Amino acid sequence: MAAYHEAYGPELLRLWRDSLRGLAGYRAGWFHGRVTLLVSESHPPALRAVQEAGWRQTVSDLTVHEIPGEHHELLRAPYVDRISRFRTG
């Protein structure tokens, strides 16, 4: 946690804390549609499996793509170009 605090400051830690508080009581409903899940290749396979299992409990049509880059880099060049090809609508 100290490394994240130094890199991103206390604002990010407050955002995480507040987000976790909000998620604690949330229960997702079923989504009858297509969802594309982009998963960082840096995520360990066990974590990826848990993420996919969670999504599969709430969506009827899930497609998972593994993409290069670390989670916090994905919206920056050069990784953002790879993500933009999955954009729809």
How far is C-alpha 45 from the chain's CA centre? 14
pLDDT tens for 22-49 read 888 888 789 999 999 988 888 888 988 9
Q: What is the pTM of this model?
A: 0.64
Per-residue pLDDT for 4 more than 80?
no
Measured at the CA of 87, the angle between CA 82 and CA 89, to 5 degrees, comes to 160
**pLDDT recorded at residue 55:** 92
pLDDT at 89 over 60: no
